[in-house]
Amino acid sequence: MSEVTKVKRNFQITLPASVRKEARIEEGALLEVKVEGEVVTLRPVETVDRSQAWFWTPEWQAQEKKVQKDTDAGKVAAVDDVEKLIEELKDLEK
């Protein structure tokens, strides 16, 4: 998709409705602005609350992918006794 918009007073631009809709950009959204040569790119970005940032670290996400793979492969079990589960996990470490 390609659209044309005009730079207005105070160097503001209006994103055309079709662009906002396709990129799912809503009022108040944050956009990363990147310039490469004569190309200006706008990319929507999301912020993460600092208290939740650990979840999005590469290390944690790698572990999440491993867990999802095991879950998808059916390598899961239901337990009624947490103490028994802990003992079984300790046995696996040996």
pLDDT value for 57: 94
**Is the pLDDT confidence value at 93 over 90?**
no
CA distance 2 to 92: 56
pTM over 0.85: no
According to DSSP, residue 35 is labeled E
pLDDT value for 58: 95
Strand-pair partners of 32: 43
CB of 32 within 8 A of CB of 43? yes
Q: Could you report the per-residue pLDDT of 47-87, keeping only the tens digit for each?
A: 989 999 999 999 999 999 999 999 999 998 888 999 998 98
Nearest residue to 20 via CA among 45, 46, 44:
44
| Paired tokens of 40 | 């200006």
Question: What value does the mean pLDDT take over residues 6-30?
Answer: 95
Q: Could you tell me the pLDDT band of residue 2, with boundaries at 50, 70 and 90?
A: confident
Tokens 């790119």 belong to residue: 41
